[in-house]
Amino acid sequence: MAMNRCERLLGLFLRAVVRVCFAFFEFFVSKRKSDVQPRLPPITNPLLLVPAIQLAQRIRRKEVTSVEAVQAYIDRIQEVNPLINALVKDRFSAALQEAAQVDKLIEEERGGEDVLEDRLPLLGVPFTVKEAFSLQGMPNSTGLLSRRSVISGMDAPSVALLKRAGAIPLGVTNCSELCMWLESHNHLYGITRNPYNLERIAGGSSGGEGSIIGAGASVIGVGSDIGGSIRIPCFFNGIFGHKSTAGIVNNAGQYPPPTGQQPGFICTGPMCRYAEDLLPMLRIMAGPDAERLSLSVKVDLKRLRFFSVPHDGGSPLLSPVDPQLIQAQKKVVERLEADLGVKVQELRIPQLKYSFQIWGAMMSAPGKDGKSPTTFAELMGEGKRVWPVWELFKWMLGLSSHTIAAIGLALVEMFQSSQPSQFILQQKESLQRDLEELLGTDGVMLYPSHPQLAPKHHHPIFTPFNFSYTGIFNILGLPVTQCPLGLSMEGLPLGLQLVTGKLQDRLSLATALYLEKAFSGWRDPGSTANMEKTHPDCSKIQQ
């Protein structure tokens, strides 16, 4: 009881401090803002509203050419990217040449559409890639100024598999500096903006991918996730994303490479606007390991067990879950029970309260070889350690080449133990055991993606631990699908995570397909329908 009282008092104190910081920040920043914020133009080309799998089918059937599809996305990127700053380097000329080769291949193919579909399921479809991944001929800096001249000489395995399936890369997208922050911002490419509200963040670290796809300027993309770097941008930008079971998709070919125990936590996965593209993308990106997921097995949602966990139990380090997100999750429960005839059990899982502590301890733990992971300060200096306090002093003078978020992470790291405490290890093992037993081979858990709607730019500095809602599942190795659920009263995306047992990815993917039909999935951020105001009542969420 005494511990609980201390935690509550600590939570109240921390939240009071955050509110004061917010107030000061808003007071100074608001003076420099324009009263009128530009909005994205609506999508007018119908080709931009076709799922990737359907677009590939139309290209194979010669209903549309690959050149037309690629040009449509190039036009959309040129229209919106000056506003959102998501794509940082394009390869438009090469993409159009490759599209022309695709159209020629289709004209000359004598084996029929089925042969092309089997061999090249994404033939002629454009896609984008997070800049942290190697894409031949494209930069691979991960937002680090000292890597500005690094050009990839080959493709990352996941990128190569998509290209081998016939997809055509358009370019690379922005990420946070060294892929370890909630906002995609660095001193090389600048800051990426949310297509639904340019004052809001696009998330990180795959924020450029989330923004470009959410803006309707890409239909599918490649992201990576070690603490929520796929799911958080997908949530903030109103799209779908999937973190697969650990060890299924090859993570090679991205910078920085994981070290210590981190290779077991990082996941490469698909990001897309339409739920039907998730499974075929995962099948392609997983290569031969896709067989382990039994993705061809049909899922009967009525035979699944569903659980709803509305929050982490009240960690004093994290923000409370926004009431609109709680209400959205309740609506999902109501639809599941009404449409499928299932009973959704609401649960409280006490170990989730220690999600950040578990994530932080395991991320800094030595690997099986006894070697500690490369420190963030070493990554900032590309092997030559930078001194965080000195970098902070330089930043205050406007002389640092690093963002304040990166410097802050390096400072926190100085006080972090490399050996997890026995208590945290017990909480992790207990949570792992309980969740695997709970989910089994037929369970799906509903859980918030993040406690807040997409925050304003730079605000995550004041709430740095909120990513724990996603990060805990990297440590546990469980597959998770991020699913959009319409828009909030402010016009920002709502959503939740669908968590399943290991190797049961198909269950959350099938549930995402159902929820897309029930809640309309992705919304065009430029549509005037999304600008309509609703009554200030949390129960009246746009659907």
Q: Which residues contact 478 (CB under 8 A, 6 or more apart)?
A: 245, 435, 439, 499, 500, 501, 502
How far lies 450's CA from each of 379, 432, 469, 500, in Å? 27, 20, 6, 18
Helix ranges restricted to H, 31-87: 52-60, 66-84
Cis peptide before 256 (omega within 30 of 0): yes
Distance CA 478, CA 495 (A): 19
How far lies 2's CA from each of 9, 314, 320, in Å? 11, 16, 21
Tokens 């324009």 label which residue?
34
> Among candidates 249, 497, 256, which has minimal Cα distance to 378?
256
Q: Which residues are registered as beta bridge partners of 481?
A: 242, 498
Quick one: angle between helices 404-413 and 388-396, nearest 10?
150
User: What single-letter DSSP state applies at residue 460?
Assistant: G
CB 382 within 8 A of CB 343: no
Annotated active-site residue in 205, 224, 319, 488: 205
Angle subtended at Cα 320 by Cα 314 and Cα 323, rounded to the nearest 5 degrees: 125
User: Which residue type sits at 188?
Assistant: L
Q: Which residues contact 381 (CB under 8 A, 6 or more apart)?
A: 146
- Does the annotation count 343 as an active-site position? no
CB 153 within 8 A of CB 266: no
Three-state SS at 287 = helix
What distance lies between CA 515 and its chain's CA centroid?
18
> Among candidates 328, 349, 258, 366, which has minimal Cα distance to 539?
328
- Does the annotation count 371 as an active-site position? no
Where b means 16+ CB within 10 Å and e means fewer, 14-40 reads beeeeeeeeeeeeeeeeeeeeeeeebb
Residue 300 has φ and ψ, to the nearest 5°, of -100, 105
Residue 242 has φ and ψ, to the nearest 5°, of -140, 130
Annotated active-site residue in 66, 184, 211, 229: 229
Annotated active-site residue in 130, 163, 243, 428: 130
- Does the annotation count 205 as an active-site position? yes
Helices then strands, counting H and E runs in the chain, come out as 17, 15
Active-site positions read: 130, 205, 229
